[in-house]
Amino acid sequence: MSKSEEKHQTRRRGADLEDAVLSAAWDLLKEVGYQEFTMAEVAKRANAAKPVLYRRWPEKSSLAASAIIKFGPKLDATIPDTGSLRGDLVTFFNQLIKIFDMFGAEKFRGLVTDRLKSIPIEKLFAAPNSDNMLQSAIEQILEQAEKRGEVDTSKLSPRVLQLPGVLFINEVVGQAVVTKQVIAQIIDEILIPVFTAKK
């Protein structure tokens, strides 16, 4: 038996093994979606033992989230600048739903609610030890708006800055499709009034 065939003798460790697991997890997630995603199947595909997964990720939803962060579609880092707060928000949220649609929103079903069992909502859009992409995008959009005189960012509390994320998650958790109309309603009826409120 040649050395290369002796798979059972070649143990991967550290990053190598981690990458293999995440890669298998991402493949499985694409194929079957979160609900049918099982730890045993990921382990099998990665030729790893189940405890290997649990030594790194405390639970299934955590592994799935890591795989999405590593291999999933990335949020476009460029912030729109359409000339108005409303336009920027509309453009930004439409980018966001496009990403979800690209991957297939139904593939995520169950993941968000599972994640919410162990992490607060404002960490949902953040990789570990990194900041909340969504919220920082909103902050940049609001700073642009302030330059135009549309808002006064000194009046905006953390709670208000988290509101777009909360509303977006709320739509994603619900089974309905997030359409452009829904986005427009959220922006016109809720976000703009809140951001432009006078204290």
Binding-site ranges for DNA (CB under 7 A): 8-14, 17, 36-40, 47-52, 54-55, 58-60
Does the protein bind a copy of itself through residue 197 (CB under 8 A)? yes
End-to-end Cα, the chain, rounded Å: 77
> Which of residues 73 and 193 has its CB atom nearest to a copy of itself in the complex?
193
Establish if 175 lies at the interface with a copy of itself (CB under 8 A). yes
Closest separation in Å from C-beta 59 to DNA = 3
Q: Evaluate whether 24 touches 46 at the Cβ level (below 8 Å).
A: yes
> Is the separation of the CB atoms in 183 and 153 below 8 Å?
no
Q: How far is CA 111 from CA 10, 20, 39, 131, 180, in A?
A: 34, 21, 14, 20, 23
Which does residue 193 bind out of DNA, a copy of itself, none, counting CB within 5 to 8 angstroms by kind? a copy of itself
- Report, in Å, the least distance between residue 80 CB and DNA: 38
Q: Which window, 40-48, 111-119, 133-141, 143-151, contacts a copy of itself (CB under 8 A)? A: 111-119
> Please, are residues 52 and 43 in contact by the beta-carbon 8 Å criterion?
yes
Please pick, from the candidates 20, 75, 105, 160, the single residue that binds a copy of itself as defined by CB under 8 A: 160
Q: What residue 186 binds from DNA, a copy of itself, none (CB within 5 to 8 A, per partner kind)?
A: a copy of itself
Q: How far is the CB of 103 from a copy of itself (least distance, A)?
A: 20
In the complex, what is the shortest distance from the CB of residue 70 to a copy of itself, in angstroms, rounded to a whole number?
A: 25
163 binds a copy of itself per the rule CB under 8 A: yes
